[in-house]
Chains A and B, each alone.
Chain A
């Protein structure tokens, strides 16, 4: 009944404008229903299981150097985890580049624990049978910024330059389908199928690129970080594959996160 009514409205609008250039934005009862249950889902989120696992990994002596990550500098000094996630991506002098949280954790696993990049980058994303350690670790680290204001720094010249590079990556159209990030996330009130598409160029909506990540994905029931999210965006953008924890991914995340600065981060979330 409701369905027929909606279609009726669309038809009426379409009839009034014989060459419609944009779909009429009818209120979306589906999205409202999803939102209602989102809160329930977030209240008890299996992401917390990975947060627990990540904390255990953070404290454990592991790797060829049999060291824990407790001396890892996430930007606020060695061992300071609280609030670090909300202040990344940031510039790290020891690596001479801007790093997002997971890239930094990978850096620490290499420098402190002696793991190799090749080993960590081999299968960096969660599957039904395996959750890579950096994913649990970044979930733990992210949870320690729950309730804090996002404030990715822009004080270092390389942080400012990286933001601009990330912005250029965001708008760069190429590949088989001529897509850029902005093709889906550059205008207001759009959706793909039933999924709303936030406009990441606007601060009020850019927060949705950050909020809820790392996220427990209902599809498959696996934990995913922003490294995975960016990777899968490039896949759907019909691009080749970006390197895990690479500068490109950090730059794109710097652009998105700086745009979201000032919003309160609610911690690891739950995703469709």
Chain B
């Protein structure tokens, strides 16, 4: 199945019409993206990661909701709810800008999931959490600042 999907992807790349194919759902039933994007995951800045993912042209949007604490109780486990209100949302990507490797993940909701995800992440220091949504072949973005405090003892 993986092999099949990759073959399809190659063909799509050859046609130079990936975005169209994704939007049209041609890539089902596999994931909308290709192999785990090492280049993006190893990028040291959010912008570099977004470039590697072809998302660096994302435009600001008010139609993405990020629910995350203003101040996280513990940076090791920061809960984040993301909801996209952009019609035709296919994926949701998360970047924690101040982390050593900002790109945290992409959630593919194009094949039967609602444009929502809950995830818990590690945030090393206070940082904007940037979300990029892919919809209709375009990218949209917004960010929310999460502060990380130091702790006392106990618990």
- Residues of chain A touching chain B, judged by Cβ–Cβ distance below 8 Å, are 30, 33-34, 36-38, 40-41, 44, 184, 191-195, 197, 215, 217-221, 229, 232-233, 236, 271-272
- Residues in chain A near residue B81, CB distance under 8 A: 40
Taking A195-B151, A221-B77 as given, write out 4 further A-B residue pairs in contact, using a Cβ cutoff of 8 Å, ordered by the A residue number: A193-B153, A194-B152, A229-B155, A272-B155
Question: Could you tell me if A218 and B73 are in contact, using CB atoms closer than 8 angstroms?
Answer: yes
- Residues of chain B touching chain A, judged by Cβ–Cβ distance below 8 Å, are 69-74, 76-77, 79, 81, 118, 149-155
The B contact surface, by secondary structure, is: loop
Question: Could you tell me if A30 and B149 are in contact, using CB atoms closer than 8 angstroms?
Answer: yes
Of B69, B73, B118, most buried by chain A (CB within 10 Å of CB) is: B73
> What are 16 of the A-B contact pairs (CB < 8 Å)?
A33-B70, A33-B71, A34-B69, A37-B73, A37-B79, A44-B118, A192-B154, A194-B149, A195-B151, A195-B152, A217-B155, A218-B74, A218-B76, A218-B77, A220-B76, A221-B76
- Residues in chain B near residue A215, CB distance under 8 A: 155
**A34 touches which of B73, B152, B154 (Cβ 8 Å):** B73
- Residues in chain A near residue B71, CB distance under 8 A: 30, 33-34
**A194 touches which of B70, B79, B118, B151 (Cβ 8 Å):** B151
* Bound Cα distance A44, B119 (Å): 11
- Residues in chain A near residue B73, CB distance under 8 A: 33-34, 37-38, 218, 272
Question: Do A193 and B77 form a contact, CB below 8 Å, given A30-B71, A36-B69?
Answer: no
B81 to chain A, nearest CB (A): 8
**B154 touches which of A41, A195, A221 (Cβ 8 Å):** A195
A151 to chain B, nearest CB (A): 26
Which of chain A's residues has its CB closest to B76's CB? A218
Q: Which 9 A-B pairs have the closest CB atoms?
A: A193-B152, A218-B74, A218-B77, A195-B152, A192-B152, A34-B73, A272-B155, A271-B155, A37-B69
Of B71, B81, B150, most buried by chain A (CB within 10 Å of CB) is: B71
Which of chain B's residues has its CB closest to A236's CB? B153
* Bound Cα distance A233, B154 (Å): 7
Which of chain B's residues has its CB closest to A184's CB? B154
* Bound Cα distance A41, B119 (Å): 11
* Bound Cα distance A37, B69 (Å): 7
Of A44, A193, A220, most buried by chain B (CB within 10 Å of CB) is: A193
